[in-house]
Structure 1
Amino acid sequence: MDEELVTLASLAATTVVKAAAGDLWGRAKELAGRVLRRPGAEGEIEPIRAELVAAGESGDKEVGLRVAQELTERFQQALLADRAVVEVLLRELAALRETAGTTVTMTVNGDPATVVQANQLTGLVINHAPRPSTG
């Protein structure tokens, strides 16, 4: 088997496993469904999330490793069966990475302030009264 396909399948499986605990699960499940390309594939992936979440709560790291290996094997089979799936998988992984973005945590203490956190702003105007001098 091509080393690139093994790496790609492993990356996809790891992405699905990591997404199980977060907000990207829906996208990861769609990715798995598109790669496996058969009716009901997304439904087959859903129980994996419950298993991974339960394992995370109990601290069982072996479950994540086992599930990632099982998914890697399933994805490898899909990639070998249809090379067109490679392009689908590459697009889906890129979209998932773009969706994941970056997490920024800010804490504002002290003076009242206006804080804006956004991906893209156009024409933002913030009006506020000047602060009284404390001198």
Structure 2
Amino acid sequence: MRNVMFVLAATALLTGSAFAQDNTGSQTDPSAATGSSNAAVNPKGNAGSSVNASGTVQIVAPSALEKGANSFTEGQARSRLEGAGLASVTGLHKDDQGIWRGKAMHNGKAVDVGFDYKGNIGAQ
């Protein structure tokens, strides 16, 4: 009976550690598992992100922004817009398509700005 208990305990310990690791024994990147294109989750940027291959932010036409459930907060949207070189961001609000919209200054000109759920930034 004691041997059976020992075998069960050893099996439980070995099985538990197998669930905590992938097949290489190392931790995995959670964004790789989800394939997320959300720049907040996957800052490396995937297709659809406003970060291009050189790592710089690309501002697109407002018509290129995609509607969808936007989980960015107002503060996160403002921070991303300012990080893209837009200054004096004001009037941010989320529209009925899930796109953050507002006004800002870009290269000395007043522009309308948008920020979609994928992290794309639009200015006109």
**More strand per residue:** 2
- How high is the TM-score relative to the length of structure 1? 0.22
TM-score (norm. length: structure 2): 0.24
Greater percentage in helix:
1
* Structure with larger RCO (C-alpha < 8 A, sep 6+): 1
